């Protein structure tokens, strides 16, 4: 049961980043939000956004009951970087983002979705599970 205090406090943002915002960050946002944590909400973005989500990502998420057909890759904003409770990067550098490296958690073991979609999915799911336990 939610208290009045929980209803009025905005959710803390977990910001997932990958350069093109077309694969890894989309997967991470979708799987994190599917967990339904009451205090947190994930968003995702990139530094050099593509035109669309990778078709293999849309298919993979669709098979898990998550529809990203209306998701459009976009560039991360300075405000999002400033307000995020946690920044998780899968390929974006602190220098490219203009933030202190200490504010970014790097998931460097996630393979490129274009080369290993299932491996990327499994690595992201494992990281999401660990992240949820830490929160």
* CA–CA distance, 132 with 97 (Å, rounded to integer): 24
**pLDDT tens figures, 13-42:** 999 999 999 999 999 999 999 999 999 999
pLDDT given at position 8? 62
* Phi/psi of residue 37, nearest 5 degrees: -70, 135
Domains and CATH numbers, the chain: 11-134 (3.40.50.2300)
Strands (DSSP E) found in the chain: 12-17, 40-45, 86-89, 104-106
**pLDDT tens figures, 5-20:** 455 678 999 999 999 9
């Amino acid at each position: 049961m939610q208290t009045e205090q929980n209803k009025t406090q905005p959710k803390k943002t977990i910001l997932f980043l990958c350069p093109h915002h077309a694969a890894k960050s989309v997967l991470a946002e979708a799987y994190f939000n599917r967990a339904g944590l009451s205090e947190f909400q994930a968003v995702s973005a990139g530094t050099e956004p593509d035109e669309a989500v990778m078709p293999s990502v849309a298919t993979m998420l669709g098979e898990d009951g998550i529809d990203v057909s209306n998701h459009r890759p976009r560039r991360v904003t300075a405000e999002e970087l400033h307000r995020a409770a946690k920044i998780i990067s899968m390929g974006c550098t602190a220098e490219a983002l203009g933030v202190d490296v200490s504010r970014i958690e790097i998931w460097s073991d996630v393979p490129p979705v274009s080369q290993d979609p299932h491996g990327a999915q499994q690595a992201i799911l494992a990281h999401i599970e660990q992240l949820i336990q830490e929160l």
